[in-house]
Structure 1
Amino acid sequence: VIITALPGVAPDAVRAEIEGATLIITGMRPLPCAGRRANIVRLEIPYGRFERRIALSDRLQLAARELQNGCLILTFTKTG
């Protein structure tokens, strides 16, 4: 199981794909409406496009995916 914290990311704004033995998680975290017109001094959470790459065993297959309480939960099973 891989759990990735994605606060503020809508379910339709995130993708999880496997290329070879690499899990690639990409998405977009928009700036909140109130922040678009504000003079931002400090951000605790980065906004905009993001991408994470995680090396996997080549024997894993994605079995389930859910976005729950701001976390992407990916469950894998072993193959062969």
Structure 2
Amino acid sequence: GPKFVHTIYHFARYVMIENMKKLPVGTGIPFAEAVMWGPKDMYMAKARHRVAYNKLLQILQREDFIFEEYREKTQ
């Protein structure tokens, strides 16, 4: 349900940040530090969060749909 997806979203974000700490981007500021900075405009931060959250939901729904189709074809 929604709580599971929310937990997975936060876990995926944590894993991404940890990976980025190991593989810094070529800019002067490592990506992981930039992700952890608090935004100056909370409205924009919430909007970015909603966009990322919705994108993750779409990806998970697409994966579930593909798995269901695969399961039906194998039966």
Q: TM-score range by the shorter chain?
A: under 0.3
State the TM-score, normalized to the length of structure 1.
0.23
State the TM-score, normalized to the length of structure 2.
0.24
Q: 1 or 2 for the larger relative contact order (CA 8 Å, sep ≥6)?
A: 1
Higher helix proportion (structure 1 or 2): 2
